[in-house]
Amino acid sequence: MLGPAPGGPRRQQWQQRAEELSAATLRAMSGDASLHFRGGHLHQGGHLLPLHAPHLRIDTGAVDYADCRALADAVALRLRYTDKAMHEALRPAEGIERLVFEWLEQLRVETLVDAALPGQVHNLRHRFERWARDYHRAGLTRGQLGMLMYTLAQMCWSRLTGYPVLEETEEMIEGMRAGLAEPLGTALAGLRRQRGDQAAYAEHALVIARHVTSELPPLRREADDAENEADEDDDARRRFRLLLNFEGEGESVIAKAETGESRVFGESEDGYRIFTRAHDTELEAAGLVRRALLQEFREKLDQCVAAQGINLRRLARELRSLLAVPHRDGWLFDEEEGRIDGRRLSRLVTSPTERRLFRQDRFQPAADDCLVSLLVDCSGSMKNNVEAVATLADILLRAFEMAGVKSELLGFTTGAWNGGRPHREWLAAGSPPAPGRLNEACHMVFKPLDRPWRRARAGVAALLKADLFREGIDGEAVDWACERLLAQEARRRILIVISDGCPNDAATRRANDAFYLDNHLKEVVARREQQGAVEVLGLGVGLDLSPFYRRCLAIDLSATLDNAVFNEILQLIVGRHRR
């Protein structure tokens, strides 16, 4: 089991591991495979999972692993025992009343833990008592508001679970506890009695929430009223003002790709259609840039890579450990067990007690049976991120090569804006309905599989040429990249698609419908995943690509690339990300 979070550079690694273990536990208990941590926050699919109970607001990088496990246990119970539609219909709209109602519902489901799971019972009790102790020691019980909320939490928790209130603060809360017992006695008894019935329990929870609200002055006063508030309440008020911020709940930290259903694609008997392939091209990217300009691009890219300060050797070692499998590499001689080595039998004559007469197979880890293809979306919107994407790709290509993994860098765009020659031919043909893809597909090879990075480094720099970026037809590009990988013998083939948006081609969109290319991309990815010969991963540049890719990761390239970004990519490759 993980211990307390370490300090220094190991803290981030510890936090990542704690979040991975907690999320895995949570998925196992809830049966919801979409649950995961991102940016220190718990997400369900592409959406932030709201946690309004104050004792569940934790920093996963600064607490014991037991607290992270308690969070997983508590959320699993909430997902299992709370009828979401009923809860949303009954809960108050905002303010302290809603906070109390949300908190009481969370405490309810935590009392429904199976007694046959003593570890879970211990985790939940440990977490609440840790919160209560930290809250009191931080001085937040000094104010009127802080004391009221703390006392209420202790009373409700104790009544529901049967545990005594925190001994450290028992005497301190006794006066307020007695004052609340008379008006709330019936409701508190109802909480315990009806905890197995969400609707009946909610009636008592609402009584408590409304009473507390009636006892409190409004938190959101006008500025002149705020100046008259007691200083002792300020800290507690600031704390609860954060807890009362329900706006934007459930929103994703990173935007999610928008998509929908295509009527044209769904009704087509032929599936995805292409009006003409006559103008499609597959090009060496380096040949599209003047040699002098390509040299300038390479120098610029070298400067960008150097500025990141990434330890390439360390990254390569981690990649090798993730992708390598044992390969037989000769023999180990002079072993005390294994197969008899006839060349050592003469030792028995001179030394009858000699036991080192055997040989064994020697296995060495090697990653040379794995292929990786980086497929970059060269649509117009990617121009804003081209330097960061080129830097990321260059670092990955070098690390793959150092790890003994063959890799290539591909790109896709269109030959023209707004359809080009296929669109003009379609107009000349009388604009028949539902023509399918209506532009010139352009697939580019920046670095082929069989060319080492040193010989292909100039071609990689061609990615910085901005006028290559036009529109994007993603589905065909994914198919093309997969076929290139399948043409090579390998144990494992991985395709990483780097994109910042949905497929888009103006001419195709106008002639068919808005989601025609989107639906084709979904069909291609689903088919490739089902076949299993190529692992298709999505790397979203500031965008959650989960509508298209089952295994995907959203990264922010607006800041400097650091080890954390590459650690996330490593986890995506190994299969621990599922957005």
> What are the pLDDT tens digits along the chain (579 aa)?
565 556 554 555 666 677 778 888 888 888 887 787 765 677 776 567 878 788 888 776 667 778 888 888 999 999 999 998 998 899 887 778 888 899 999 999 999 988 888 988 999 999 999 989 988 888 878 777 778 888 999 999 999 999 999 888 888 988 888 888 888 889 999 998 999 999 999 999 999 998 888 876 544 443 334 334 444 445 444 554 445 455 455 555 556 677 788 888 888 888 899 999 999 999 999 999 999 999 999 999 999 999 888 889 999 888 888 886 655 666 777 777 878 777 777 777 777 777 787 777 765 555 568 899 999 999 988 888 899 999 999 999 999 999 889 999 999 999 999 899 999 999 999 999 999 999 999 999 999 999 999 999 999 999 999 889 999 999 999 999 999 999 999 889 999 999 988 898 999 999 998 899 999 999 999 999 999 999 999 999 888 888 899 888 888 777 677 777 888 888 888 875 444
- SS3 category, 495: strand
Residues 120 and 208 in one domain: yes
d(CA 470, CA 504): 10
User: Is 450 contained in some domain?
Assistant: yes
Q: Are 425 and 345 in contact (CB under 8 A)?
A: no
User: Is 251 contained in some domain?
Assistant: no
Residues 316 and 181 in one domain: no
- SS3 category, 440: coil
Residues 283 and 225 in one domain: no
Q: Who contacts 113 (Cβ-Cβ below 8 Å, separation ≥6)?
A: 73, 77, 120, 121, 124
Residues 307 and 332 in one domain: no
Residues 305 and 447 in one domain: yes
d(CA 412, CA 484): 14
Domain total in the chain: 3
Neighbours of 203 (CB within 10 A): 13
User: Is 248 contained in some domain?
Assistant: no
At 26, list the tokens: 């949570």
User: Is 559 contained in some domain?
Assistant: yes
Task: Look at residue 45 in the predicted model and tell me its pLDDT.
Answer: 63
Q: Are 387 and 302 in contact (CB under 8 A)?
A: no
Query: Which residues span the domain enclosing 340?
Result: 328-365
* 125-129 long-range contacts, CB within 8 A, separation 24+: 125/161, 125/163, 126/66, 126/67, 126/70, 127/55, 127/56, 127/66, 127/67, 127/70, 127/71, 127/74, 128/55, 128/157, 129/166
Task: Look at residue 217 in the predicted model and tell me its pLDDT.
Answer: 54
Residues 271 and 229 in one domain: no
Residues 53 and 81 in one domain: yes
User: Is 351 contained in some domain?
Assistant: yes
Alpha helices in 31-167 (DSSP H): 65-81, 84-90, 95-110, 118-137, 144-161
Residues 176 and 273 in one domain: no
Residues 353 and 447 in one domain: no
Task: Look at residue 377 in the predicted model and tell me its pLDDT.
Answer: 94
Q: Who contacts 294 (Cβ-Cβ below 8 Å, separation ≥6)?
A: 286, 458, 461, 462
Q: Tell me the sheet residues that pair with 43.
A: 36, 48
Task: Look at residue 275 in the predicted model and tell me its pLDDT.
Answer: 93
Residues 220 and 294 in one domain: no
- Smallest CA-to-CA distance from 49 within 39, 41, 57 is with 41
User: Is 334 contained in some domain?
Assistant: yes
User: Is 70 contained in some domain?
Assistant: yes
Residues 180 and 232 in one domain: yes
User: Is 1 contained in some domain?
Assistant: no
Q: What CATH number has the domain bearing residue 301?
A: 3.40.50.410
Task: Look at residue 448 in the predicted model and tell me its pLDDT.
Answer: 95
- Smallest CA-to-CA distance from 191 within 158, 149, 145 is with 158
Task: Look at residue 430 in the predicted model and tell me its pLDDT.
Answer: 94
Residues 407 and 433 in one domain: yes
Tell me whether strands 441-447 and 281-284 are parallel, antiparallel or unpaired. Answer: parallel
Q: Are 276 and 422 in contact (CB under 8 A)?
A: yes
